[in-house]
Amino acid sequence: MKKTHIVLLVLVVITISVIISVFLDFSTYETFASASKQPGKNIYVIGFLDKEKEMVYNQKLDPNHFTFYAKDKSGNMNKVIFNGEKPRDIEKSEQIVMMGYIDAGTFHCSRIQMKCPSKYKKDMVAVGSSS
């Protein structure tokens, strides 16, 4: 093989690996406990909104500050500060996927994705029979 072929092959491999690393997200879902062991590192946590605890959002005072409490899948409760406006219908969501980091025992969230309840419930499905 010529040196130019080897160099081109190496460049192609490097280019493909850069493209894959940019477009694929290899992150995993963590809990608040495992996030506290990695302070400052951005992670994803799947949780549930605690509707019994106070939610603080004052659109006139600071429209980009929403504070609430969430419970992760392990049952750990944590205070969450979201740097954005309160998501519409967050109270109706079944689950919340939060991206952020732990700092001083508080989860600082930069992105929220809500998992809403399904429109289709098992008990609402009509079952027909042929005669």
Q: CB-hemisphere CA count at 13 Å for 6?
A: 3
Closest by Cα among 47, 58, 35, 119 to 90 = 47
Are the beta carbons of 68 and 91 closer than 8 angstroms? no
For the chain, list the strands marked E by DSSP. 29-30, 43-49, 56-57, 66-72, 77-82, 95-103, 106-115
Give 71's strand partners. 48, 77
Give the tokens for residue 126. 């009509």
Domains of the chain: 27-115 (2.40.50.140)
Q: What is the pLDDT of residues 79-129, one digit of tens each?
A: 999 988 888 888 888 888 989 998 888 899 999 888 876 655 554 444 443
How far the first Cα of the chain sits from its last, in Å, is 74
Q: What is the pLDDT of residues 49-90, one digit of tens each?
A: 888 888 898 888 888 899 999 998 888 899 999 988 888 888
Q: What is the pLDDT of residues 7-44, one digit of tens each?
A: 899 999 998 888 877 666 556 788 888 888 888 888 89
Say what the pLDDT of residue 25 is.
55
Give the tokens for residue 91. 């109270």
